[in-house]
Amino acid sequence: MKRRSFLSLGAMTAAATLTPHVASATTKDIKLPSADTVHVGGSRRIEIGGGHWVWTKKVGSGSTKVLLLHGGPGADHRYFEGFEDFLPPNGIEFYYYDQLDSTNSEKTNDPSLWTIERYTDEVEAVRQGLGLDQFYLLGHSWGGLLAIEYALKYQQHLKGLVISNMAASSESFVKHVSKIRAGFPESVRAELEHYENANKTDDPAYQKLLFEKLYKVFICRLDPWPDPVQRSLDGWNQHVYNVLQGRSEFEASGRMKGWDRWADLPKIKVRTLTMGARYDEMDPEDMRKMATLVAHGQSWISETGSHFAMYDDQQNYFRALLTFLQG
């Protein structure tokens, strides 16, 4: 039998085999979304000015809406994936968003765009693009810095603010992480200094020390790390991090240096929740203090969690967050 005839016969046989299954389906068994648009699972590109764009994604549906600001700087939305199991079941709609030069968004590779002021205005462009108003803004770590900045400039659009695992100044952060470092064995401190003095903080040996002595204790205490956290940090744009933060977690020598909003916190008038943890890089006492300085603040501190208390003290983290969002 010729190959063409064999293939034709095979196709006819497959069609005959499949036909009864297709015919058995009825219209009432199929649920389709509306036909007036192309459906993309909630993903959208938002134009943010200057010809640039960022990626966003809507998850869930509800009258309470939350926009998430990821940390890093230069990480991405993926470490927030655990929110999918907690917010939508409680009727809360939320939005992922990768900041410029992060995973799903445009890669400009232009350090002149990596400033606190421009990223703050980027959040407002995203809000406008998504059509959000009277929404909750949740910022974690570096995203918490942006959340503070956004509230000070655009709080008329906010229903509430969540500052998760971020102090109100870079000096506060460095002070606390330096205290953590002082508790390391002398040999570890000496090795860290060796690489720092040689300006080799990107050396795998230095990064391994960071992971073993800092990240495993004060970033996420689970072993192994949850998949969303691991994938997010695997895709971390270190160039953005270096420009804004500096060489490592032990310093703020980049554009975040000198950032301080302690005196401005009383200007934030919307309901605010600060969230911290006993084993965080950020001092939990700073989280408590921040809540007393904003006009309508409250704080929640995990007794067992770390910087990613959303995973290593998950039930308590989301119980506190949901209570605030539904309050």
Find tokens 């998430």 and name the residue.
68
Q: Rounded CA gap, 69 and 47, in Å?
A: 17
**Is beta strand 92-98 parallel, antiparallel or unpaired with respect to 52-59?**
antiparallel
Under 8 Å between Cβ of 44 and 306: no
Q: Does the annotation mark 141 as catalytic? A: yes
Give me the helices (H) in 112-249, please. 116-130, 142-154, 170-182, 186-197, 204-210, 227-234, 238-244
**Catalytic: which of 52, 76, 140, 141?**
141
Token couple for 36: 């007036």
How far apart are the C-alpha atoms of 244 and 25, rounded to whole Å?
56
Both tokens assigned to 316: 């308590």
Q: Give catalytic status of residue 98 as yes or no.
A: no
Task: Please calculate the CA angle 115-80-258 and round it to the nearest 5 degrees.
Answer: 25
How many other CB atoms sit within 10 Å of the CB of residue 300? 23
Measuring CA to CA, how many Å separate 246 from each of 144, 162, 229, 239, 254?
18, 25, 21, 10, 5
Q: Is 98 left (phi over 0), alpha (psi -120 to 50) or beta?
A: beta
Q: Which of 76, 98, 280, 283 is the catalytic position?
A: 280
Asked if 274 and 144 count as a contact pair (C-beta separation under 8 A), the reply is no
Q: End-to-end CA distance of the chain: give it in Å, rounded.
A: 74
Residues forming beta bridges with residue 138, ordered by sequence position: 68, 162
Q: Is 178 a catalytic residue?
A: no
Question: Which are the catalytic amino acids?
Answer: 141, 280, 307
